[in-house]
Structure 1
Amino acid sequence: MNKLLALAFVALLSAGCASNATGVGYYWQSVTGHLKLMQAARPVDDWLADEAAPTKLKERLEKARRIRQFAVSALALPDNASYHRYADLNRRAAVYNVVAAPALSLKLETWCFPVAGCVGYRGYFLESDAQAFADSLNNELEVAVYPVQAYSTLGWTNWAGGDPLLNTFINYPEGELARIVFHELAHQVVYVQNDTAFNESFATTVERLGGALWLAQSSAQTSADYATFDTRRRAFRALTHSTRERLQDIYTDPVLDDATKAQQKALAMADFRQRYAALKAGWNGYAGYDPFVAQANNATFAAQAAYDEWVPAFEALFEREGRDFARFYDAVRALADRPKEERLAALRVLAPSVVITADKDHP
């Protein structure tokens, strides 16, 4: 098969063909968007040799190359074609995701695709297309559109050059750049259809563990800069976590009628925004979480939950496996091979205090 056609076929599979998709238009934007991204990518060595390339970009690409080597040598992540090329997409995000949830539930709407399985989001390469789809959804749903700086093709395109580094994240703080690369490579290690929380929590665990190791061998200034960034993120995640738990308690309370739930939800959301304002007051003008807060609703809270729901369980598993990444991955693969209910039961044993929110009712 012609390589370009084969790549288009892979992109089409990743885009999906479920009955709740909107048709050929969605597939076409997925195929063409991914092809444009791949075609824009050039080997890192070419960028470094290009006299016209900005010095700052070359410095970041050198850093990214060392991060990529570290991913293999220290974290046992795949040694393949991914993240050895770079592309400037001339936009702020790789894709834009649409998420939706009912007004009194943290259960995400799902869309099903042949390769990715059923996931709680739907991605578009153009923000206008994402917004148009969001606007088309049932007005009883709470909907959000948010930018995504990187995505994984799960290793399916390594034969064609692999997932590239992108302008959408190359200038992130060094620790965050490392975490993104580690996270996306982790998806190539283990990926389970129809279990977004498992997949994202595993990748988040790898990014956190790997990020800590990377920073431990970095300069004191790099570590200090990242500590400021990460302290804010941890505080914000703690705030959103407590708000999710409060909302979940409201939505699942068998005593409350829908009107009362709606009233209590409004109070919880108002409290969330007040607490965020108090947090932000101590951040010296940093406003990075303003976009999330501005559109915060059930969909955004549920989508965020998928990224850290099972992290405590995976961290416990990593410790159980002697902090050995290869053994840890084998243990995760063994979990992935089990039926979903058995898999979740095993994770609960590893972290019994975890409370399921966004994914608890998914099939």
Structure 2
Amino acid sequence: MRARLALLLLALAGAGCASTTGVGYYWQSVTGHLRLMQAARPVEHWLADGQTPAALKSRLALAQQIRAFAVSDLALPDNASYHRYADLQRRAAVYNVVAAPELSLTLQSWCFPVVGCVGYRGYFSEEDAQAFGRSLDPSLEVNVYPVPAYSTLGWMNWAGGDPLLNTFIGYPEGELARIVFHELAHQVVYVRNDTVFNESFATAVERLGGARWLQTRAGEQAQADYKRFDQRRQAFRALTASVRQHLQTLYRDRTLDDTTKLRRKATIMDDFRRDYAGLRTRWEGFAGYDQFVARANNASFATQAAYDELVPGFLALFEREGRDFARFYDAVRALAARPKEERQASLHGLAGTAMASGATGRP
């Protein structure tokens, strides 16, 4: 059993849970995840415990309703994951480190056993994450950010599965549903060496599932709260997508030298911060994206793109499959079996056709 556990935890390196190369790299992955698993207790134990705060009991009960909905309405896996809860006594499950060149939106990648190459490294310790970021080539733009949850891709269900965590249990109802759906989606389809495909697929599932939950199960207050939150998110997403496009166009311009590109890049970033300040004013001071803007660089924009780039194609595929989740997953598995260039071209084509017809598939 211990040998099996060690082998499986080695694979966490590519699931956002690794630190540095060598023995220490995998050791922190193993010990960090073991501590997380050991902190988890079945939800029913927390609910029966008289010392559990009433507010936490309410959130855990809601999370179990969301978990059941994931199976009954979204055809997501019915297994051990998200039936236990752990309080990690910290603000994040892991801390990811990402890096990109100063004139590129291509993330540096690291390769690991089993799961292949990914565009980030994850640490259980924020201090270790920051130290690794500082150790990278100074020419790279680096971002270190907290991650509320990660998936073990179903490998750990035999040992209790991925638990609910204090790092996200307090999220607004719609967001709590979305994060559970996103992480479960990684247990449905995962492709080696294709972070954009994996994250875009899970993001599509979370959006589709979150919309269905809100429409059919959430109360009026939860729907109103989510609508206000999502309007802000859509506005910010549109702003950052525009910035990414401007940066990508600039970086690909072969008629400009690097000095000119850097100067124009600085102007684009100044405009981004100004435009964000305008959004923030209209949001009556809502500061939810302040940290992203303060840290914004090529690495953070490239990371965001990994979660968004192929989502329109997946949403269009969902529509093509009659909005049936089981059929949708089968179609995604078929795509996953094709070469990377082919599956991405297919998804871009689906998105373009949907846009041309006006059927975007947006939940």
TM-score (norm 1): 0.94
Gaps of 5+ in 2: 355-363
1:69-218 → structure 2 map (5 Å cutoff): 69-217=68-216, 218=218
**Kept after mapping to 2: 8 A contact 1:205/1:311:** yes
The match for 1:61 is 60
The match for 2:5 is 7
Q: Quote how far apart the aligned CAs of 1:9 are.
A: 2.6
CA distance in 2, matches of 1:55, 1:240: 39
The match for 1:256 is 256
CA distance in 1, matches of 2:20, 2:35: 22
1:196-345 → structure 2 map (5 Å cutoff): 196-217=195-216, 218-345=218-345
Letter in 1 for 2:7: F
- Stretches of 4+ aligned residues off by more than 6 angstroms: none
The match for 2:358 is none
Letter in 2 for 1:131: Q
Paired residue secondary structure (1:188) = coil
CA distance in 1, matches of 2:149, 2:163: 9
1:342-361 → structure 2 map (5 Å cutoff): 342-352=342-352
Q: Deviations over 1:91-145 (max 9, x none)?
A: 0000000000000000000001112211100000000000000000000000010
Letter in 1 for 2:9: A
CA distance in 2, matches of 1:351, 1:55: 45
**Kept after mapping to 2: 8 A contact 1:15/1:31:** no
Q: Percent identity of the aligned residues? A: 72
Root-mean-square deviation (CA, aligned residues, Å) is 1.3
Q: Deviations over 1:193-238 (max 9, x none)?
A: 0000000000000000000000002111110011111111111111
Q: Quote how far apart the aligned CAs of 1:290 are.
A: 0.7
Change (3 A) 1:245 1:184: same
CA distance in 1, matches of 2:250, 2:58: 50
CA distance in 2, matches of 1:148, 1:137: 20
Deviates more, 1:114-123 or 1:42-51: 114-123
**Kept after mapping to 2: 8 A contact 1:316/1:350:** yes
CA distance in 1, matches of 2:4, 2:53: 34
Q: Quote how far apart the aligned CAs of 1:191 are.
A: 0.3
Q: Quote how far apart the aligned CAs of 1:353 are.
A: 8.3
Gaps of 5+ in 1: 355-363
**Kept after mapping to 2: 8 A contact 1:8/1:35:** no
Q: Deviations over 1:165-195 (max 9, x none)?
A: 0000000000000000000000000000000
CA distance in 2, matches of 1:284, 1:271: 20
**Kept after mapping to 1: 8 A contact 2:20/2:132:** no
Q: Quote how far apart the aligned CAs of 1:284 are.
A: 2.2
Paired residue secondary structure (1:52) = coil
Letter in 2 for 1:12: L
**Kept after mapping to 2: 8 A contact 1:21/1:111:** no
TM-score (norm 2): 0.94
Paired residue secondary structure (2:352) = coil
CA distance in 2, matches of 1:233, 1:319: 23
Query: How many pairs align?
Result: 349
CA distance in 2, matches of 1:284, 1:66: 33
